[in-house]
Amino acid sequence: MGETQPEIRPARTEDAGRILALRRLCYRGEAELYDDHTLPPLTQILEGVKRHPNAQTVLVARVGEGVVGLVRARAVCGTCHVGRLAVHPRFRRRG
């Protein structure tokens, strides 16, 4: 395991390509399980990833230049609603 701990920070526009690649990697198994490759995380294009509603927060977990995790969320009346969450398979189950 000896890898560096991920740094968590707000996503930037230049992260969009890495976010798209990570989501496609992470949701591929779900698509195969349900035999449905039209899931939004698999079909969204790069421009769609770059434009997320201002009311949402997107955080990424980075190791070096790589994005190894992400979460999209928004707060409504004091409750956090989590949208898409993805963690690179190598970084899962670490707490």
Q: What is the pLDDT at residue 60?
A: 92
Q: What is the pLDDT at residue 2?
A: 52
* b/e burial code for range 11-46 (CB count within 10 A of at least 16 → b): beeebbebbbebbbebbeeebeeeeeeeeebbeeee
Q: What is the pLDDT at residue 20?
A: 87
Domains and CATH numbers, the chain: 7-91 (3.40.630.30)
What confidence tens digit (pLDDT) does each residue in 15-68 have?
A: 888 988 998 898 888 888 888 888 777 776 666 555 655 557 889 999 988 899
Please tell me the pTM assigned to this model: 0.74
Are 71 and 52 in contact by the 8 Å Cβ rule? The answer is no
